[in-house]
Structure 1
Amino acid sequence: MSERRGPVGRRHEGRVDGRRAVWWSAGEGPVVLFLHGWALSPASYRTGLAQVAARGARVVAPALPGFGGSDELPAAEFTLAGYARWVVRFLESVGVEGPVTVVGHSFGGGVAVRLAHDASDVVSRLVLVNSIGGAVWATGPAGPRLMSERPWWDWGLHLQADLDPGGPFGRVVPVIVSDAATNALRNPLAVWRVAELARTADLRHELEELRRRRLPVVVVWGRQDRVLPEASLAALRLALGDDVVRTVEGTHSWLITDPDAFTEILTNVLTERPLRPLVEGTPPEDELPEPDAPAS
Structure 2
Amino acid sequence: MSWSTVHVDARAEVCGVLGRGAPVVFVPGYGLTPWIYRHALAGLARTVRVFAPAIPAFAAVPGKSLDERTVAEGAAWLGRFLDAAGLGSVTLVGHSFGGALAIRAAAVLPDRVARLVLVNPVDGGPWPDVGGAVTPLGDGSPRERGTALEEALVRRMLASVDTPRRTVTTDGDPAPELRTDSIPRGLDLDESLDRLAQQRLPAALVWSHDDQLVPRASVESLRACLGGTSVFTVAGGHGWPIADPECFGHTMQTVLDRLPLEVVVS
> 1:124-273 counterparts in 2 under 5 A?
124-135=114-125, 137=126, 147=127, 154-157=129-132, 160-161=133-134, 165=137, 166=139, 170-172=144-146, 176=150, 192=161, 201-272=187-258
Aligned CA RMSD, in angstroms, stands at 3.6
Q: Do the aligned residues in 2 keep the contact of 1:31 with 1:100 (CA within 8 Å)?
A: yes
Higher relative contact order (CA 8 A, sep 6+): 1
Distance in 1 (alpha carbons) for counterparts of 2:208 and 2:140: 15
* Structure 2 partner of 1:50: 42
Q: TM-score, normalization: structure 2?
A: 0.75
List runs of 5+ in structure 1 lacking aligned partners.
1-8, 138-146, 275-296
Distance in 1 (alpha carbons) for counterparts of 2:190 and 2:67: 23
Size of the aligned set, in residue pairs, is: 239
After superposition, the Cα gap between the structure-2 partners of 1:235 and 1:200, relative to the gap in structure 1 and judged at 3 Å, is farther
Distance in 1 (alpha carbons) for counterparts of 2:32 and 2:43: 19
Offset from partner CA, 1:126-154 (integer Å, 9 cap, x none): 0000112151x2xxxxxxxxx3xx7xxx4
Distance in 2 (alpha carbons) for counterparts of 1:77 and 1:237: 22
Q: TM-score, normalization: structure 1?
A: 0.68
Letter in 1 for 2:48: A
Judging by fraction of residues, say which structure has more helix. Answer: 1
* TM-superposed deviation, 1:35: 0.5
Aligned: 1:121 with 2:111: yes
* TM-superposed deviation, 1:43: 1.1
Distance in 2 (alpha carbons) for counterparts of 1:56 and 1:199: 39
**Helix, strand or coil at the partner of 2:258:** coil
**Helix, strand or coil at the partner of 2:232:** strand
> 1:7-26 counterparts in 2 under 5 A?
9-26=1-18
Aligned: 1:38 with 2:30: yes
Letter in 2 for 1:212: Q
**Helix, strand or coil at the partner of 1:11:** strand
* TM-superposed deviation, 1:118: 0.6
List runs of 5+ in structure 2 lacking aligned partners.
164-180, 261-266
* Structure 2 partner of 1:110: 100
